[in-house]
């Protein structure tokens, strides 16, 4: 069987947030994919600090983190793209002035710049994340791959988007937005794998459920939406499988004859 590279979203794809666990069928599917010689790569908006050992649990040693900004293959960093420090400073100062909390994701940490409100806690609760510690001005001494802007008002475009034309803003959940430099999302990581490892696009498969999965699902040779995926992703996907809690991950790879 020809080796496939399978780029797998985290939240809502392998993690069922209804139970805050990985379905047993998903664990079995990943184990069988690996046994059959395929490579499974975690592909997520989370930074590495938010994996909580899931990568080790699933015996996965390659990942695309922070929406394509930090790419690692078997322990080797293939790509490390961080937001321009001046832009980070400007956005941080604006948010702080308006008493809007933000968090920074680096290669090693996920920390808050401030805690004016409980919005960051609400954001964490959706994904069952630990509440981040406050490390004010962390960005001054660290490279930032991604900012989380804890803001959900309709004026976010005039308040932030129009002021920062080099940045991409994408709602991760109702309580906040992922902020990255423009130029693509998770598909950047797939492109890096192709370039660095000589992978052909015909051997790529991507599966996810959210808005930040749309571009990678379109880019991969086979793009899959979970049944619980957002409608925009379903329209972009080649295949729509069942929900995460209805063995959707296992079922689709069984259908593709990869397990």
Condensed to tens digits (0 to 9), the pLDDT of residues 7-23 reads 999 999 999 999 999 99
Does the pLDDT at position 1 exceed 80? no
Does the pLDDT at position 135 exceed 90? yes
pLDDT of residue 143: 97
pLDDT of residue 153: 87
Does the pLDDT at position 171 exceed 80? yes
CA distance 53 to 158: 38
pLDDT of residue 92: 98
Where does 85-181 sit in CATH, by number?
Answer: 3.30.1240.10
- Cβ atoms within 10 Å of 172's Cβ, excluding its own: 22
CATH fold of 5-80+184-255: Rossmann fold (3.40.50)
Angle at 193 between CA 189 and CA 194, to 5 degrees: 115
Mean of pLDDT values over 224-240: 98
Backbone angles phi, psi at 60, to 5 degrees: -110, 120
**pTM for this one?**
0.95
pLDDT-derived band at 154 (thresholds 50, 70, 90) equals confident
Q: Which of 23, 77, 189 has its CA nearest to residue 180? A: 189
- Cβ atoms within 10 Å of 75's Cβ, excluding its own: 7
* Domain positions in the chain: 5-80+184-255, 85-181
Angle at 236 between CA 206 and CA 202, to 5 degrees: 40
Angle at 184 between CA 180 and CA 190, to 5 degrees: 115
Does the pLDDT at position 58 exceed 80? yes
């Amino acid at each position: 069987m020809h080796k496939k590279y399978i780029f797998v979203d985290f939240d809502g794809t392998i993690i069922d947030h209804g139970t805050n666990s990985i379905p047993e069928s998903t664990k079995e599917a990943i184990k069988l994919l690996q046994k059959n010689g395929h490579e499974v790569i975690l592909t997520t908006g989370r930074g590495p600090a938010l994996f909580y050992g899931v990568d080790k649990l699933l015996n996965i040693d390659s990942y695309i983190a922070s929406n394509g900004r930090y790419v690692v293959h078997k322990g080797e960093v293939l790509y490390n793209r961080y937001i321009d420090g001046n832009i980070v400073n400007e956005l941080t100062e604006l948010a702080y002035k308006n008493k809007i909390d933000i968090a920074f994701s680096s290669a090693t940490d996920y920390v808050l710049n401030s805690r004016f409100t409980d919005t960051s806690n609400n954001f964490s609760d959706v994904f069952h994340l630990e509440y981040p510690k406050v490390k004010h001005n962390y960005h001054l001494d660290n490279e930032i791959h991604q900012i989380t802007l804890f803001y959900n008002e309709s004026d976010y475009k005039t308040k932030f988007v129009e002021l920062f034309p080099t940045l991409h803003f994408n709602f991760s959940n109702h309580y906040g937005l992922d902020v990255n430099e423009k130029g693509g999302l998770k598909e950047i990581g797939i492109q890096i794998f192709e370039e660095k490892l000589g992978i052909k696009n015909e051997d790529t498969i991507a599966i996810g459920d959210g808005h930040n999965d749309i571009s990678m699902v379109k880019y991969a040779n086979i793009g899959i939406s979970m049944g619980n995926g957002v409608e925009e992703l379903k329209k972009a996907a080649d295949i729509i499988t069942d929900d995460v809690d209805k063995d959707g991950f296992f079922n689709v790879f069984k259908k593709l004859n990869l397990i």
